[in-house]
Structure 1
Amino acid sequence: MADVGKNNMAGHPGIAIVWGAARMVMVYTIGHVSGAHINPAVTIAFASCRRFPWKEVPGYVIAQILASTLANETLRLIFNMTHDQFVGNVPPGSDLQSLVMEIIITFYLMFVITAVITDDRATGQLAGVAIGSTVLLNAIFAGPISGASMNPARSIGPSLVWNEYKGLWVYILGPIVGAIGGAWAYNTIRFKPMSEISKGASRQ
């Protein structure tokens, strides 16, 4: 999670709440137009399991990165931020630690997204709440460990604006691997008979 300064009044929980709420609002606002495609990792994951055409992936990813870059440039200009006020992600500890955490939290996020966006059995009206809540929980848990990016575009945008690329590969590779894993994990159990799931649970 980006460090916005020592005098930040919101604090870590406040940032996580705003982050989750913003994600929820975006799902309800543009979800019917672009689905959950404001994240390159999500787009690539959907394409990997044939729920989105590969030929459209480059255009979506470019648009997502461009939007992130413009948003960060706007943020920098509005708040007159200096070069040392980087709002992107840099691994707080080792690159490996942040990479593993990004894979795990993006796996959870994509698992939820796949469930509520692509499965007709899920309650579609609660998709925004489910996704936003997952982002909130991931941010609270993983923020101090990896920055909780979960979105390559979110990390690439500020890196381009502030010309800061330290550990950027972590926030590109981690979310993509995690998202593909989450999408395939849900699709693996999607059509499994409930009787078979219950039988397996009773054996534990």
Structure 2
Amino acid sequence: MIIILSTGHISGAHLNPSLTIAFAFLRHFPWAHVPAYIAAQVTASICASFALNGVTVPSVATGQAFALEFIITFVLLFVVTAVATDTRAVGELAGIAVGATVMLNILVAGTSTGASMNPVRTLGPAVAAGNYRKLWIYLVAPTLGALAGAGTYTAVKLEDTEAGPPRPVRSFRR
């Protein structure tokens, strides 16, 4: 939350390549910037992880770990997309909304999967510790969850209207 509030105005607080990819896919972020952002995210994760020299490995079955990481990242990106792309959302309190979502996700999945929600959050420790066991879960599930969560909010958000309360829009854009 502190990072989002303090640097969000500089970089959009893109700490997660799943978020960067989802936002580029939905045209909220230029594809041309994606490689540099992901390179910075991966580098930062690996550097931080060598400092900590820890690793996250799921304590539940592979399918359960995949489902948990998908769901918590879905929830995270649903909230992030709402507060980052819809001016009617919480505005300056976006960092609190995102931070609270991360905290809730950690409470739900922390003991089972480490509540990664971010491929580089787990890649860095895996590289530092030399432990790549089940790493694919942390690369694939958060990215798919991010695309699904951001896409779902984009599909269900109400369009802005000049007069009166927002009304549902019936469109099925892809």
TM-score, with structure 2 as normaliser: 0.89
Determine which of 101, 104, 119 is the counterpart of 1:134: 101
Structure 1: runs of 5+ lacking an equivalent = 1-23, 77-86, 198-204
- Residue in 2 aligned with 1:111? 78
Aligned to 2:163: none
Structure 1 residue 191: Cα displacement: 3.2
- Asked whether the 8 Å contact 1:36–1:113 carries over to 2, the reply is no
| Alignment map for 1:52-201 (pairs within 5 Å) | 52-76=29-53, 87-192=54-159, 194-196=166-168
Aligned to 2:132, what secondary structure does the other structure show?
coil
Query: Larger radius of gyration, structure 1 or 2?
Result: 1
1:72 aligned partner, one-letter code: S
> What is the CA–CA distance in structure 2 between the aligned matches of 1:74 and 1:88, rounded to whole Å?
12
Instruction: Measure, in 2, the Cα distance between the counterparts of 1:152 and 1:161.
Output: 14
**Counterpart of 1:88 in 2: which secondary structure?**
coil
1:49 alignment counterpart: 26
Q: Aligned with 2:107: secondary structure?
A: helix
Structure 1 segments of 4+ aligned residues over 6 angstroms from their partners? none
Q: Deviations over 1:62-121 (max 9, x none)?
A: 110100111111234xxxxxxxxxx22212121111001111000000000011111111
Question: Unaligned regions of 5+ residues in structure 2, if any?
Answer: 161-165, 170-174
**In 1, Cα distance between the equivalents of 2:45 and 2:118?**
10
Could you say what the CA RMSD is over the residues aligned between the two structures, in angstroms?
1.5
Query: What TM-score do you get using the length of structure 1 for normalisation?
Result: 0.76
